[in-house]
Structure 1
Amino acid sequence: MDRGLLDWLDDASAERGLYYAGRREGWDFRSYRELRDLVLATAAALRAHGVRHGDVVALVQRSGPGFVATFFGALAAGATPCTIAPPFAFQRADDYERHAAHLFGTVRPRITVCDDESQERIRKIAAVTELPEPVVFDQLVADAEPLGAPLTLPETALVQFTSGSSGFSRGVRISADALRANLDGMRQWLGCAPELPAVSWLPVHHDMGLVGFLLNVVVTGFDGHMLQPDDFIRSPQRYLRRISERRIAMTAMPNFGLSYILRRVRPADLEGLSFDSLRCLIIGAERIDPRVLDDVHALLGPHGLDRGALLPAYGSAEATLAVTGLPPGEGWSVGEPYAGDAASLAGTAVVGCGRPLRDRTVAVVGEDGGELPEGQVGEIVVRGVSLADGYVGDAGTASGTSLGDRLHTGDAGFLRDGQLFVVGRLGDGLKVSGKMVFAESLETLLHQRGIPERRVAVLLGVRDGVPTGVAVFAGVRDGWREIAHEVLSEWLGDAQLLAVEVPRGGIAVTSSGKPRRRVIWKSLCTGTYDDTTGPLAASPDA
């Protein structure tokens, strides 16, 4: 089903729409017909505020009807929406202000539409960046008369920021054709249809929550059930109950979300629940741990979850979102790089992320740019219909990702039987005895040994001419140093091993929760952590 980005406005259903989690167990429903009227009213209000064709409209809002109305209202007004993480996505105010000021300075929006929760913080940042004061959504649309019909779509339908795991986030220009092609490709891959409901707790400022869920749901026209990220953190049981009660067919999350369910949900919590309706649980955005997939199926399988519903996938902001994905029902698998490959981390099992979506190709290339044989690790390169047009302003090159007629992702992986296996981030690794060791692989091993996600980050590089591995602990607990020493010394040989301690929540992360390794590494090398840095010893007294 090929759908334009605003086609849903012409056939907006009064029966289907979006359900938003309210307080306690309540849910608020907005039909697509109600949302259509709000979108057209928002478009008229944006035009009245001076927004013209091709202008950028920044959104700093939580998931809600106002976000939907502002995003599609910007498109209906001929403008380009750009989503920016609200303050809740960052634990430290100074980190958020630096991050948001960079994003605002990059896109220079004509108008910023925020919610009440974000207004004061964004007002301060707008003053620093010499931008107009933000407008609260409810005030924007007050007394606005809807446009009779949407205006011509802008050339750039979305400015989407990269995660910033390798430095500052970069603004990616996504055309209307690329966005439409990615949504169409996902619908074909997943078999999306209006009668198949979906649920998500993912933040809508992130590409997985925005493109992968919200835009897909609205443009296709099926029922979407939306929780806030903190709703999920407070009670993953509520999310699971919704799947069971409403016969949900589709959902998505990163690996850490599955790990969180495993930590917080006991078998007794699942009594009376059924997950046999769930045909697509997409897993992406970060390295996938095969043990987590096994454990999730062991927990939910007795209640009807089919193993074939777990769908590892791979994507990037520069490709709009989805690049590869495992089809429903096939069942995920693991693979290892070719044992004789000098660039591989042999002996580690990597989860397959499926095959390319329609009209996309994926290759793995070596340092000379030539394609590598199956099983050999190299850089993942993507070609296809949904690549971005380029970056906004001075994109820089720190991330290792580059755009042209093909996308050099800066990610390492290998192909086997047409399926992509993602190993880690190029530049976040260290060559040991001729084999490349990746930070993400070591973090996975630490998590498997009991150190929770978001409580440790591994850094690898050459410091003062010495190969170095660093374990950064956020609120270190007894036994964690010993685990980290055992794992890092096994894989890193004679490299210098260091430990850095920061307070809980003190690991710099992107708006989607990934460690900002290169930012932390730079701080380490410039002495920021000198007071809390020491050798990573086999025992606390060593």
Structure 2
Amino acid sequence: MGIGDRGLLDWLDDASAERGLYYANHGDGWDFWSYRDLRDMVLRTAAALRARGVGDGDVVALVQRSGPGFAATFFGALAAGATPCTIAPPFAFQRADDYERHSAHLLSTVRPRITVCDVESQERVRKIAAATEVPEPVIYDELVAGVEPLDGPLSPPETALVQFTSGSSGFSRGVRISADALRANLTGMRRWLGCTPEYPAISWLPVHHDMGLVGFLLNVVTTGFDGHMLQPDHFIRSPQRYLRRISEQRIAMTAMPNFGLSYILRRVRPADLEGLRFDSLRCVIIGAERIDPGVLDDVHALLGPYGLDRGALLPAYGSAEATLAVTGLTPGEGWSTREPDEGDAGSLAGTAVVGCGRPLEDRTVTVVSEDGDALPDGQVGEIVVSGVSIADGYVGDAGSGSLSGTSIGDRLRTGDAGFLRDGQLFVIGRLGDGLKVSGKMVFAESLETLLHRRGIPERRVAVLLGVRDGRPTGVAVFAGVQDGWRRAAHEVLSEWLGDAGLLAVEVPRGGIAVTSSGKPRRRVMWKALCAGAYEDTTRPLAPEDA
């Protein structure tokens, strides 16, 4: 039987000495931190923050990799009556200048009372903090050195988390999530998945991203089951290590974007799986980006012979403004695909959309027209979410030093396009990443899915759509272009964009602008294109593969 509603710090009262968090180390081993050990770290961190002048409702910024120090800082901020805010460490960005711009914007927005970082991040963050006139960062170990823990947590803050959006549409926005909203979302996920302390989980997701933070770390700790955590680069170097841990520890739950599944397919062969079993997995949550049904089929074909149940693959949908989870498939149900109504917007032949399940309890999802009217099943429009766990709003203007800001309201207009079928949500893509062709919308994510099926790997191509110099235009941005890619892109884009102008932009590998969670920043690249930033590497997208 699953565990129901729990406060964010209730676990401190019954912290287990047997269960806790396992962190992959730099060898092939794992370091264990029991919840009892973590409780002591949390209360010591809370005392240290108060001693540094952190007061009720102040923001504590975390610039740390996943580790016991991150967990202690996050829950320690709450126990000190402060609001934690997670910011990506430098490893999440390939270019130093991109990281500095991104982090400077985030620090300027929240104006933290203190920034807690790890040794790896300190010098970079110190430089950015000085430029933005926020306090110099402190390393976690120095923060807590010699500090005696509080006897217990202080009153929790009204705003329990500032979670930044991915920034795929421009600069990231700081979302104010109340303690009630965060608690409601964790409870909803717990009941959706049937979480109990007997079900161990594993993740390689970065904890600065809401899927890794709320969906994994906070869910694991507040429920009290064993959590096994790798760094993202551990997974990139060896997805086999991640899969071995699932088999050896009889892991029941994990989560990742579509990209993670695609990466496993590229790097893992049946010979790597000999002796492994995946029949313990009951929940593989897939979200954060559009899901390719071909990838789901291929993952089941790879891991099914070793025990993975097709019903364990659980496509889901969420957003930072909804705290995280909005919809998800029930474990064991089995995913399906549907297409919008005949001739409706977004209907690309051969790109049936994966269902992302039904709303979690006390949430409602509708699809509306441009005028805000509810649309019937099968018609594409904007996804609107209402009910519990909607965020309070966005953080106020940079420099205000306040968490006040824009209100989101009871109905969250997500800016995502999708449709409903029999109560299940099917997500197509961002409304701002589409182009109307012959009266119908075509979405960049749909075209990228077709390009991936033509053999162009994810993160190596991005499609941009818009009107440039008065003409509808489609652009394929290639990162380290290879033979055959231009031809494939021309075939796909010319088929679905009609008379639109077609361009190719070639950047070095790693040159596609992405968010800290790896999503293409299409609107940022579109603005750069129109401003002439890619002038030297832009050319017509021709049918020949020159």
TM range (shorter): over 0.9
1:427-506 matched pairs, under 5 angstroms: 427-506=432-511
Cross-structure match for 2:198 = 195
- Of 329, 333, 337, the residue aligned with 2:340 is 337
- Of 48, 65, 72, the residue aligned with 1:45 is 48
Amino acid at match of 2:501: Q
Q: Deviation at 1:344? A: 4.5
- 402 and 74 in structure 1: CA distance in 2 versus 1, 3 angstrom threshold: closer
Asked if structure 1 preserves the Cα contact closer than 8 Å seen for 2:394 and 2:407, the reply is no
d(CA) in 2 for partners of 1:375, 1:347: 17
Cross-structure match for 1:527 = 532
1:91-106 matched pairs, under 5 angstroms: 91-106=94-109
Q: Deviation at 1:402? A: 8.3
d(CA) in 1 for partners of 2:376, 2:223: 39
Cross-structure match for 2:66 = 63
- Of 417, 423, 438, the residue aligned with 2:422 is 417
Q: Are 1:221 and 2:203 matched, yes or no? A: no
Larger displacement relative to structure 2 (428-437 or 240-249): 428-437
Q: Deviation at 1:341? A: 2.4
Amino acid at match of 1:36: R
- 234 and 276 in structure 1: CA distance in 2 versus 1, 3 angstrom threshold: same
1:173-212 matched pairs, under 5 angstroms: 173-212=176-215
Aligned residue for 2:161, secondary structure, equals strand
- 62 and 342 in structure 1: CA distance in 2 versus 1, 3 angstrom threshold: closer
d(CA) in 2 for partners of 1:59, 1:19: 20
Cross-structure match for 2:286 = 283
Amino acid at match of 1:407: L
d(CA) in 1 for partners of 2:360, 2:20: 27
Q: Deviation at 1:9? A: 0.3
d(CA) in 1 for partners of 2:150, 2:329: 41
d(CA) in 2 for partners of 1:160, 1:342: 32
Q: Deviation at 1:25? A: 1.4
d(CA) in 1 for partners of 2:81, 2:142: 21
Aligned residue for 1:403, secondary structure, equals coil
Q: Deviation at 1:24? A: 2.3
- 319 and 134 in structure 1: CA distance in 2 versus 1, 3 angstrom threshold: same
Cross-structure match for 2:361 = 358
Q: Deviation at 1:343? A: 6.1
Ranges in structure 1 where 5+ consecutive residues have no aligned partner: 396-400
Cα-Cα RMSD = 1.1
Aligned residue for 1:178, secondary structure, equals helix
Cross-structure match for 2:18 = 15
- Of 219, 231, 252, the residue aligned with 2:255 is 252
Asked if structure 2 preserves the Cα contact closer than 8 Å seen for 1:75 and 1:153, the reply is yes
Asked if structure 1 preserves the Cα contact closer than 8 Å seen for 2:340 and 2:346, the reply is no
Q: Deviation at 1:393? A: 1.3
Aligned residue for 2:37, secondary structure, equals helix
Q: Deviation at 1:525? A: 0.1
Amino acid at match of 1:362: V
Aligned residue for 2:448, secondary structure, equals helix
Ranges in structure 2 where 5+ consecutive residues have no aligned partner: 399-405
Q: Deviation at 1:387? A: 0.3
Amino acid at match of 2:227: G
Q: Deviation at 1:23? A: 2.1
Q: Deviation at 1:174? A: 0.2
Aligned residue for 1:23, secondary structure, equals coil
Aligned residue for 2:14, secondary structure, equals coil
Asked if structure 2 preserves the Cα contact closer than 8 Å seen for 1:482 and 1:539, the reply is yes
Aligned residue for 1:117, secondary structure, equals coil
Asked if structure 2 preserves the Cα contact closer than 8 Å seen for 1:30 and 1:65, the reply is yes
Asked if structure 1 preserves the Cα contact closer than 8 Å seen for 2:392 and 2:407, the reply is no
TM norm structure 2: 0.97
d(CA) in 2 for partners of 1:540, 1:305: 40
Q: Deviation at 1:347? A: 5.1
Deviation digits for residues 355-402 of structure 1 (CA, Å, limit 9, x no counterpart):
00000000000011100010000000000110000000149xxxxx98
d(CA) in 2 for partners of 1:43, 1:464: 56
d(CA) in 2 for partners of 1:356, 1:477: 42
d(CA) in 2 for partners of 1:455, 1:337: 28
Deviation digits for residues 98-151 of structure 1 (CA, Å, limit 9, x no counterpart):
000000000000000000000000000000000111000000000110000100
d(CA) in 2 for partners of 1:328, 1:28: 30
Q: Are 1:404 and 2:414 matched, yes or no? A: no
Aligned residue for 1:370, secondary structure, equals coil
Amino acid at match of 1:456: V
Aligned residue for 2:177, secondary structure, equals strand
d(CA) in 2 for partners of 1:153, 1:357: 26
1:306-345 matched pairs, under 5 angstroms: 306-342=309-345, 344-345=347-348
Q: Are 1:124 and 2:127 matched, yes or no? A: yes
Asked if structure 2 preserves the Cα contact closer than 8 Å seen for 1:336 and 1:347, the reply is no
Amino acid at match of 1:499: A
Q: Deviation at 1:433? A: 1.2
Q: Deviation at 1:434? A: 1.4
- 343 and 27 in structure 1: CA distance in 2 versus 1, 3 angstrom threshold: closer
- Of 153, 158, 176, the residue aligned with 1:155 is 158
Q: Deviation at 1:342? A: 5.0
Asked if structure 1 preserves the Cα contact closer than 8 Å seen for 2:433 and 2:444, the reply is yes
d(CA) in 1 for partners of 2:13, 2:367: 43
d(CA) in 2 for partners of 1:340, 1:77: 56
Deviation digits for residues 318-346 of structure 1 (CA, Å, limit 9, x no counterpart):
00000000010000000000013256446
Asked if structure 1 preserves the Cα contact closer than 8 Å seen for 2:367 and 2:380, the reply is yes
Deviation digits for residues 214-238 of structure 1 (CA, Å, limit 9, x no counterpart):
0000000000000000000000000
Deviation digits for residues 195-247 of structure 1 (CA, Å, limit 9, x no counterpart):
10000000000000000000000000000000000000000000000000000
Aligned residue for 2:432, secondary structure, equals coil
Asked if structure 2 preserves the Cα contact closer than 8 Å seen for 1:343 and 1:434, the reply is no
Cross-structure match for 2:390 = 387
Aligned residue for 1:427, secondary structure, equals helix
Cross-structure match for 2:403 = none
Cross-structure match for 2:83 = 80
Q: Are 1:511 and 2:523 matched, yes or no? A: no
d(CA) in 1 for partners of 2:458, 2:423: 30
Amino acid at match of 1:170: R
Amino acid at match of 2:340: P
Q: Deviation at 1:505? A: 0.4
- 381 and 97 in structure 1: CA distance in 2 versus 1, 3 angstrom threshold: same
Asked if structure 2 preserves the Cα contact closer than 8 Å seen for 1:337 and 1:346, the reply is no
- Of 519, 522, 541, the residue aligned with 1:536 is 541
Asked if structure 2 preserves the Cα contact closer than 8 Å seen for 1:337 and 1:345, the reply is no
Deviation digits for residues 472-500 of structure 1 (CA, Å, limit 9, x no counterpart):
00010111000100111111011000000
Asked if structure 2 preserves the Cα contact closer than 8 Å seen for 1:127 and 1:133, the reply is yes
- 325 and 513 in structure 1: CA distance in 2 versus 1, 3 angstrom threshold: same
